[in-house]
Amino acid sequence: MANNTITLAQIAERLGVSKITVSRALKGQPGVSDSLRKEARRLASELGYQYERLRSSQDEKGRFIFLVPKHFYLALDVFYHEIYYYLYSLCQAKGMELSVRILEKDAEERGILPEDAASAEGIFIGGEAAEPVLHGIAALRVPCVGIDFNITSGLFSCVCIDNFMIGVIAAEYLYKQGYRKIGFIGSHERTSSASDRIHGLMRVIGQKKLYFRDDWLFDNYDEQTGRYTINVPLPPEMPEAYIGYNDNTAYYFMEFLKSAGYRVPEDAAVIGIDNTSLAASCHPPMTSIEINRYRFAEEALRLMTEQLEGKNAVQRVYLNPAIVERDSTPVRLCV
Q: What is the pLDDT of residue 180?
A: 97
Give the H or E element holding residue 316.
strand 316-318
In this predicted structure, the answer to whether residue 55 has a pLDDT above a threshold of 80 is: no
In this predicted structure, the answer to whether residue 75 has a pLDDT above a threshold of 70 is: no
* Mean pLDDT calculated for residue range 206-229: 89
Q: What is the pLDDT of residue 64?
A: 95
Dist CA 47 CA 43 (whole Å)? 6
Where does 3-53 sit in CATH, by number? 1.10.260.40
Q: What is the pLDDT of residue 227?
A: 78
In this predicted structure, the answer to whether residue 240 has a pLDDT above a threshold of 50 is: yes
Q: Could you tell me which residue, 168 or 4, shows the higher pLDDT?
A: 168
User: CA end-to-end span of the chain, whole Å?
Assistant: 85
- 182-185: strand order across its sheet: 217-218, 182-185, 241-244, 269-274, 287-290, 322-324
Q: What is the pLDDT of residue 30?
A: 66
Q: Is 163-290 a domain of CATH 3.40.50.80?
A: no
Residue 290: beta bridge partners?
Answer: 274, 322
Residue-wise pLDDT tens digits, 294-330: 999 999 999 999 888 777 789 999 999 999 999 999 9
From the candidate CATH numbers 2.60.40.10, 3.40.50.10860, 3.40.430.10, 3.40.50.2300, the one assigned to the domain spanning 62-161+293-320: 3.40.50.2300
Note the pTM of the prediction, 2 decimals.
Answer: 0.81
Residue extent(s) of CATH 3.40.50.2300 domains in the chain: 62-161+293-320, 163-290
Residue-wise pLDDT tens digits, 83-101: 999 999 999 998 889 999 9
In this predicted structure, the answer to whether residue 54 has a pLDDT above a threshold of 80 is: no
Do 65 and 32 meet the contact criterion of CB atoms below 8 Å apart?
Answer: no
Q: What is the pLDDT of residue 61?
A: 64
Do 109 and 70 meet the contact criterion of CB atoms below 8 Å apart?
Answer: no
Dist CA 3 CA 67 (whole Å)? 38
Which region among 2-6, 160-164, 184-188 has the lowest average model confidence (pLDDT)? 2-6
* Rounded percentage of the chain residues whose pLDDT exceeds 70: 94
What are the Cα distances from residue 143, in Å, to 9, 89, 228? 16, 20, 35
Residue extent(s) of CATH 1.10.260.40 domains in the chain: 3-53
* Mean pLDDT calculated for residue range 147-165: 94
